[in-house]
Amino acid sequence: MAGRVYITGSLVNATCNYSDGDFLELGKHIIISANAGYSFKGVYYLRMGYYDADFYNEGTYLEVEIDRYTINEDFYLFDDYIATRDVEQLNNFVNLYKTNQTEIRELSRAVFLNLSGGQIADFGQFINSLYILPFDIPSDILGDTDSIILGGFDSDVESTLISTYSFDIDGGTIEVPLKYNNIYDFINTECILHLPFLNKVYLNSEYVIGQTITVDFTIELYSGTLTANIKSSFNNEIVASVQGLIGMHIPFIQKSTGSIINSISNIYKNKINRCFIEVNRNIPYTKNNNVFGGSVVEYGRIGDYAGYLESDKIVLETNATNQEQEEIKNLLRNGVFI
**Span 145-169, mean pLDDT?**
84
| 152 is a domain residue | no
Can you tell me the mean pLDDT for 68-90? 84
**Residues ≥6 apart with Cβ < 8 Å to 231:** 213, 214, 215, 216, 237, 238, 239
Same-domain pairing of 322 and 237: no
- Cβ atoms of 324 and 331 within 8 Å: the answer is no
**291 has pLDDT over 50:** no
> Residue 304 has what pLDDT?
74
Tell me, yes or no, whether 235 and 337 share the same domain: no
| Of 27 and 284, the one with more pLDDT | 27
Q: How confident is the model at residue 34 (pLDDT cuts 50, 70, 90)?
A: very high
From 62, 85, 108, the end of a domain falls on: 85
Domain annotation covers residue 114: no
3-state SS class at 306: coil
State whether 59 and 81 are in the same domain.
Answer: yes
239 and 338 in a single domain? The answer is no
Residue 159 lies in a domain: no
Q: What is the pLDDT of residue 205?
A: 92
pLDDT for position 265: 53
Q: Which residues fall within 8 angstroms of residue 196, CB to CB, at 6 or more apart?
A: 134, 270, 271, 272, 273, 274, 275
| Domain span at 22 | 5-85
Domain boundary pick from 58, 85, 112: 85
CB-CB contact of 61 with 33 (8 Å) = yes
Domain termination site, one of 41, 60, 85:
85
The total domain count for the chain is: 3
Q: Dihedrals φ, ψ of 219, to 5°?
A: -110, 125
Same-domain pairing of 226 and 300: no
186 & 276 share domain: yes
Q: Is residue 69 part of a domain?
A: yes
Is pTM beyond 0.85? Reply is: no
